[in-house]
Amino acid sequence: MSNKNKVFAAILALAVFPFGQGLIAQEESVNKAQVMQDAKEKISKVKVALQYRYVTDGKALNRNTDDVVKIIKDTRTDFLALGWARLAPTPQSCSDLPQAEREKCEMKGYSYEYLENAAAKIKTVLPGIIFNGGVSGEFLNPECWNELTGEKLGRDKIWAMALDPSKWGIPMSKEEFQTKVAISHGWAKKGQPYNPKEKMPYYFPDQTNPDYQELFLSWVKKQIDCGVDAVLIDINTKQAKFLAGITGNINHLAVKDSFKGASEIVAGIHRYGLSKGRYIYVISWATAALLRSPHPAPELDAVMTTVSTEEITGMKIDISKWDIYVKKIKEKLGDIPIFVMFDQGPDNRPLEAFSQGLTKAQQQDFLKIADKFFQKKGLIFIYPVHGGMMAVEKKLKVRSYGKFNWYDSSAPEFQTYKTIKELALRKSKQGK
């Protein structure tokens, strides 16, 4: 906005809000608009993205935060993907936990104290970096707390936040739905008597529930307060997918409400960031449920996608698939950054195919193939530097340093860091 337009807008606001109230309100609006504009421009210029999950877990490798900073600096990273992620109730400090749990907490560096210290050190050396955190929108621990206020919530209060299809008149009870989810995730066996409220290790949450929204936002806000600049929500369209599947109707009110709830959560994150004078990027997966939905999408700032297992094992990118996929993303969400990573988890995910199915040389070659293709396509390939579950224990053939179930590019079993660094430096120099 030009200075002339700012003055005009301020005069107009003053006519509506006397005694200077309009001028103040207008100036605040202009400031927020500028913060948003600067942030959008910044993420659009990202060239080098790498995953380092988590920046606090170096004790197992005798790798400290300075070592992590050196890796990020040496690769000229603009976007630090999943430098942190909340997957379980998180203490402010490991010392807050019972003695039996402290050692594990310290080894993983899994506390907000660790996150805040690491983020501060990284940003001191690399002030322009975008530090990406994450929160799961799929799992709700029966015993947890509001991590912003410290309020502890028991099983009864959490169960009230669990998704109940009958809330919309759908002929399926909360117990039946939650049991089906438990069976599909391997938390319960089909055909066995099961009490989901009392026995389930996780509930599937209802993102339309105001209490759940507040709880979820507390986890995100805490990360923001600790220095995170972007948040990956994993996943914010699963509820809509489930309910569309149960009802067989993509236009059912339950589906529409689910997308609305997802949008409210995203908007809440944006509001909180702006209240702190910052713009927080909200990212989620570009799922089929999101792209095919006739309902308004959440105001995402970028999307996450993944290379497929088939592309990795075949050592070849499916060009036509990506052409169609990118077109659908742009049609639904506009021209926003698209990140590409190796999805990870326990059940035949791409990181398993990459780490367990390819030799060292093949891994290096595939990184080059993927990086070249996605750069040409205008997408941002995330280099798998550290972290991410490779496979369930019974399927794990190759471990980092002979013992860890997460990928590390410097491990002797993989040795891809040199290739990653070469690709990153080549990319960072382009256009300069």
* CATH fold for domain 37-429: TIM Barrel (3.20.20)
Indicate the pTM of the whole model.
0.92
Strand 130-136 with 79-81, pairing: parallel
Mean pLDDT of 31-37: 90
Contact 140, 161 (CB under 8 A): yes
Residues in the chain, total:
432
Residue with tokens 């997308």: 259
Task: Say how far apart CA 55 and CA 75 lie, in whole Å.
Answer: 15
Which among 118, 68, 132, 66 has a CA at the least distance from the CA of 408?
68
Domain range annotation of the chain: 1-36, 37-429
pLDDT tens digits, 271-290: 999 999 999 999 999 999 99
State the DSSP string of 17-64: STTTHHHHHHHHHHHHHHHHHHHHHHHHT---EEEES-TT-GGGGT--
* pLDDT reading at 381 higher than 90: yes
Q: How confident is the model at residue 191 (pLDDT cuts 50, 70, 90)?
A: confident
- pLDDT recorded at residue 12: 38
388 Ramachandran zone, left/alpha/beta (phi>0; psi -120 to 50) = left
Q: How confident is the model at residue 189 (pLDDT cuts 50, 70, 90)?
A: confident
